[in-house]
């Protein structure tokens, strides 16, 4: 057992009354401070007036996380931001990777088509905004602890709002409750880092809003959040909206399915300004400075051809898209695989080296990569991966991922060969094969839907980053690290997404 999981933490909490008391304190604090989600379908049926909010699932105690790993992850975020800004600008690189997966992946093919249509008529907005999140797990190698990247998100990186509240909840409990438990924990024994992810993400949106400038048409400008219908994680988004509105920036929410109905492109100017017509006040028109997508990251938002027309409207408009299609595609798992495939295995020079020529910065990122393989039939790495993925024993060390976001899309261990049997071998290359990271489990208690789950858990750290750059000149106008997210799940559970229902919100106790 490594040092960071040793010792009797968290406290046993084996007295019923004491446990119930702590749970009640957490329930009340969460509702009072917006650490909440809309109710799950099982409860929502009774909520005809749409008034219910329930506690987001959380741990009763902040989970231990190695301080060195935490600091390392934060310190490399601006380098990661710049790397992904560079990748978004390299259309040729992305085009090659899209070709490799698009044959078996209509969604990626359709996204690429949107880009090609806009390219043909010419982009009218060169600025691009990324609100990124780089996710890690701690890998233990002969006693050494090292963060390994799970994935890099370039679209709809969520939980920046709720994660601030989770840090504040645990800080509050450290002041008011933990010191007075039967097994007391003095506040001074807990190293709980500050977390400003909502402010950090809002700062990125604000930078883009300001860079857009005033409306040449004389309209007020705004930030438009494009969201999913019936979004349960709405309060996470609201925290960002409130942070922007506190700066007197007009913010609106528009379901992705209503883009065509409530926006238009200014017909009298070649600049293609995106105009927003609020359905609640048709006499007002706003010019959209920033279109922030919290939807549109997966096929389920594109059930009709008009949804693709909606995405096309956003992409060809003058609004600064967060993200643009190219930036979204930079977040493909295929990109991460190509960056992580070492020079000796791949026939071409390491892609990471090309994007990050500086030795120190290259080494800092390289250290965070786990082994990731392509699954094509041609390359030596792909052939090796095909052998590993179809071997009944070897496959147990891997996860296989398609080019998808939002959780619930991956295949684990023995499900990998089963899945491969269902698809023609010429389409296996639409997936990547990644070594499983196995962080040392520790113990914690999760409060979910009013019930406690106690046992072995593992955590995934996310570091937010914001970057605003010019696609043509490459100039970076804003590049910041923007706070953190800790999600924790049972050590037997494979997926970890909070929204997907597997993981829960947590904060770090640095050790
Ligand atoms: P998504 O974009 O859908 O969130 P991820 O790559 O983050 O896809 O995978 C979803 C979840 O699967 C992660 O949050 C993590 O819990 C688990 N996972 C993914 N890759 C690995 C890995 N290499 N090792 C261990 N767990 C993983
Ligand atoms: Mg993702
Ligand atoms: Mg993920």
Please tell me what DSSP assigns to residue 256: G
- Write out residues with Cβ below 6 Å of ligand 1: 135, 137, 150-151, 370, 399, 401, 404-407, 409-410, 434, 436-437, 460, 495-497
- CA separation for the pair 328, 469 (Å, rounded): 15
Q: Percent of the chain at pLDDT above 70?
A: 96
Question: What is the pTM (predicted TM-score) of this model?
Answer: 0.97
Determine if residue 499 is labeled as part of a ligand binding site.
yes
Residue 313 has pLDDT above 50, yes or no: yes
Instruction: Please give the distance, rounded to the nearest whole angstrom, from the Cα atom of residue 273 to the centre of ligand 3.
Output: 33
Question: What number is the average pLDDT over the span 494-501?
Answer: 65
| Ligand 1 atom, smallest distance to 502 CA | 16
Which token pair is 6? 């040793």
Residue 438: nearest ligand to its CA? 1
| Beta-strand pair 451-470/442-448 | antiparallel
Question: For the segment 372-393, what is each residue's pLDDT rounded down to a tens digit?
Answer: 999 999 999 999 999 999 999 9
pLDDT at 501 over 80: no
133 three-state secondary structure: strand
Q: What is the mean predicted confidence (pLDDT) over 107-125? A: 98
Structure tokens given for 120: 């043909």
* Annotated catalytic residue, options 206, 401, 444, 459: 401
- The lowest-confidence range among 65-74, 408-417, 490-499 is 490-499
Written as one string, the DSSP assignment of 291-338 is EEESS-SSGGG--SHHHHHHHHHHHHSSSEEET-HHHHHHT-HHHHHH
Q: What is the pLDDT of residue 1?
A: 40
Among residues 72, 82, 151, 287, which one is catalytic? 151
Q: In 67-81, which positions are buried (b, 16+ CB within 10 angstroms) versus exposed (e)? A: eebbebbbebbbbbb
Span 209-238, average pLDDT: 97
Mean of the pLDDT values across residues 73-86? 98
With beta carbons less than 8 A apart as the criterion, state whether 256 and 307 touch: yes
Terminal Cα distance for the chain, rounded? 14
Contact 278, 252 (CB under 8 A): yes
- Are the beta carbons of 155 and 295 closer than 8 angstroms? no
d(CA 182, CA 169): 20
Residue 418, pLDDT above cutoff 70: yes
User: Would you say 158 is a known binding-site residue?
Assistant: yes
Domains of the chain from N-terminus onward: 2-370+455-510 (no CATH), 373-436 (3.30.1490.50)
Q: Phi/psi of residue 224, each to 5°?
A: -110, 115
Q: What number is the average pLDDT over the span 472-485?
A: 98
The residue to which tokens 């390392």 are assigned: 72
Over the stretch 424-440, which tens digit does the pLDDT of each residue have? 999 999 999 999 999 99
Is this complex scored with an ipTM above 0.95? yes
Q: How confident is the model at residue 349 (pLDDT cuts 50, 70, 90)?
A: low
Q: Kindly state the average pLDDT of the residues 238-266.
A: 98
The 10 Å CB-count burial string (b at 16+, else e) for 468-492 is bbebeeeeeebbbbbbbbbbbbbee
The verdict on whether residue 463 carries a ligand-binding annotation is no
pLDDT at position 428: 98
Residue 368's pLDDT is 97
**The token pair that represents 424 in the structure block:** 């023609």
* Pair 64, 9: CB distance under 8 Å: yes
Confidence of residue 30 (pLDDT cuts 50, 70, 90): very high
Other residues' Cβ atoms within 10 Å of the Cβ of residue 363? 10
The yes-or-no verdict on residue 465 having pLDDT over 60 is yes
What is the pLDDT of the chain when averaged over all its residues? 95
Can you give the pLDDT at residue 502?
74
CA distance 272 to 324: 16
pLDDT score of 398 more than 50: yes
Closest CA to 63 of 489, 499, 364: 489
Residues 325-348 pLDDT 10s? 999 999 999 999 999 988 665 555
């Amino acid at each position: 057992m490594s040092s960071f999981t040793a010792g009797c933490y968290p406290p046993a909490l084996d007295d019923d009354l004491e446990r119930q008391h702590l749970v009640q304190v957490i329930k009340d604090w969460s509702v009072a401070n917006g650490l909440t989600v809309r109710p799950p379908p099982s409860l929502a049926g009774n909520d005809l007036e749409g008034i219910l909010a329930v506690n987001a699932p959380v741990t009763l105690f902040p989970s231990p996380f190695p301080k060195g790993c935490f600091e390392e992850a934060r310190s490399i975020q601006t380098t990661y931001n710049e790397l992904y800004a560079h990748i978004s600008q390299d259309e040729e690189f992305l085009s090659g990777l899209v070709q490799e997966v698009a044959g078996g992946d209509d969604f990626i093919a359709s996204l690429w088509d949107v880009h090609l249509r806009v390219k043909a008529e010419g982009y009218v907005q060169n600025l691009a905004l990324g609100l990124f999140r780089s996710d890690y797990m701690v890998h233990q190698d002969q006693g050494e602890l090292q963060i390994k990247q799970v994935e890099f998100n370039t679209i709809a990186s969520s939980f920046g709002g709720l994660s601030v509240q989770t840090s504040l909840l645990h800080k509050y409990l450290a002041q008011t409750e933990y010191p007075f438990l039967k097994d007391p924990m003095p506040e001074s024994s807990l190293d709980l880092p500050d977390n400003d992810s909502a402010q950090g993400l809002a700062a990125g949106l604000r930078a883009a809003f300001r860079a857009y400038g005033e409306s040449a048409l004389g309209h007020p400008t705004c930030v438009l959040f494009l969201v999913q219908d019936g979004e349960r994680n709405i309060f996470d988004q609201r925290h960002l909206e409130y942070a922007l509105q506190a700066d007197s920036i007009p913010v609106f929410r528009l379901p992705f399915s209503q883009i065509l109905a409530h926006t238009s492109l200014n017909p009298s100017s070649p600049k293609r300004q995106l105009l927003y017509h609020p359905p609640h006040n048709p006499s007002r028109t706003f010019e959209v400075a920033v279109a922030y997508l919290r939807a549109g990251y997966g096929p389920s938002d594109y059930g009709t051809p008009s949804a693709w027309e909606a995405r096309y409207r956003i992409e060809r408009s003058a609004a600064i898209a967060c993200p643009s299609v190219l930036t979204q595609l930079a977040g493909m798992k295929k990109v991460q695989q190509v960056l992580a495939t070492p020079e000796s295995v791949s026939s071409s020079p390491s892609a990471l080296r090309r994007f990050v020529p500086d030795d120190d910065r290259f080494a800092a990122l390289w250290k965070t990569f786990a082994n990731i393989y392509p699954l094509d039939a041609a390359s030596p790495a792909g052939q090796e991966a095909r052998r590993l993925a179809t071997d009944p024993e070897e496959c147990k060390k891997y996860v296989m991922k398609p080019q998808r976001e939002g959780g619930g899309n991956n295949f684990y261990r023995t499900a990998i060969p089963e899945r491969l049997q269902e698809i023609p071998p010429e389409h296996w290359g639409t997936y990547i094969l990644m070594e499983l990271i196995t962080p040392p489990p520790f113990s914690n208690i999760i409060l979910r839907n009013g019930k406690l789950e106690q046992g072995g858990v593992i955590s995934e750290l996310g570091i937010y980053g914001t970057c605003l750059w010019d696609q043509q000149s490459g100039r970076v106008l804003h590049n910041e690290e923007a706070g953190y997210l800790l999600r924790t799940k049972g050590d037997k559970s494979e997926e970890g997404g909070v929204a997907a229902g597997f993981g829960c919100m947590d904060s770090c106790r640095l050790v």
